[in-house]
Structure formats: C-alpha cells, structure tokens
Amino acid sequence: MKNKIIYIFLFLSGIIFSQESLSELLKKYNNESIPYISVQELAMQKTDAILLDARELKEYEVSHLKDALYVGYDEFNLKNTTKQLNNKDQMIVVYCSLGVRSEDIAEQLKKEGYTNVYNLFGGIFEWKNNNHKVYDNKEEPTENVHAFSKKWSKWLLKGNKIYD
C-alpha cells in the first residue's frame, strides 16, 4: 500500500511539474534579444505601432491582428519589408503564434538598424486568449485562429483552432 501511494504521488508530481508555463517555453526557444511587449500593453497603445505578422500566409489568411502586415517567416524578405518601414525609430511589434518565429524576424530588423522593435509575448494565441479581436483575409472579425500544429495548439485557449 505504501509503495502504491508513493507511486501515485510521483506520477502526479510528474504531471504537475512537467507542465511548463508560456514564459518557460519562450525561454527555451528564444534568446530574448528583443524586448517583449505584453498583449495588455499593446492593446493600450495609443501610438501608431506597425504590426508585422511573422507567420506563414495560410496562417495570416485565417486570422491576424487588425492592420498587421504579412511578412512571413520561411519566405521572409528583409529588403521588401524594410521598403514598407520608413522610420527606423517607429514602434514595430512583430508577432507569430506564440513569439518564437517573431523573435527571429525582429532580430533581423534590429540588425538593420530599427531601434524600437518588440516581440509580442504569446503572439496571436495570447492576443485571442485575452479576448481581443482577430480578422480574416476579408478584414472581418473571426473566431478562427490558425493553431500551427497539434503540439503548439495547447496554448490557444479561445477561438476555433484551424490547422489548414
């Protein structure tokens, strides 16, 4: 009986302690060379921040933040992107699903001399989880969010998960 209780305790402890937080996940994949901006901070911004979506086109077309520019990830083109960004001091917020791919894109902008670049902490998933609107390819509000993959979709708690 005592061994059974110990086994159950160890099993449950493993479940509890194996669940990582979003902060831990991002620390695991990012080097934090770009400062984060929280969803709450971005939502309260009264400035004309430029939003760059660093996901793939199929993800962007399902939903994106209002007025975000699609820049992609796999096919990201720094030269084409910088043509759209005239002021190197203007606030730029890069986002993806959670904040991993967006850090890579933001790093490239920083190396190009952009001084006010942020990574959206938790990406579009956290944006939607905090009840903010997302828009489809017709610029209409939608509940759909491209969930990227089954593995990463666990971080999207609200909205309809779309995979293709």
Whether residue 96 lies in the annotated active site: yes
Q: Which of 94, 46, 100 is nearest to 68 (CA)?
A: 94
Whole-number Å distance between alpha carbons of 30 and 94: 14
The Cα 108–Cα 23 span in angstroms is: 22
Amino acid of residue 149: S
The H or E element spanning position 158 is: none
The one catalytic residue among 62, 92, 94, 96: 96
Q: Where are the beta strands (DSSP E) in the chain?
A: 36-37, 50-53, 69-70, 92-95, 117-120, 134-135, 141-142, 144-146, 160-162
Q: Which residues are catalytically annotated?
A: 96
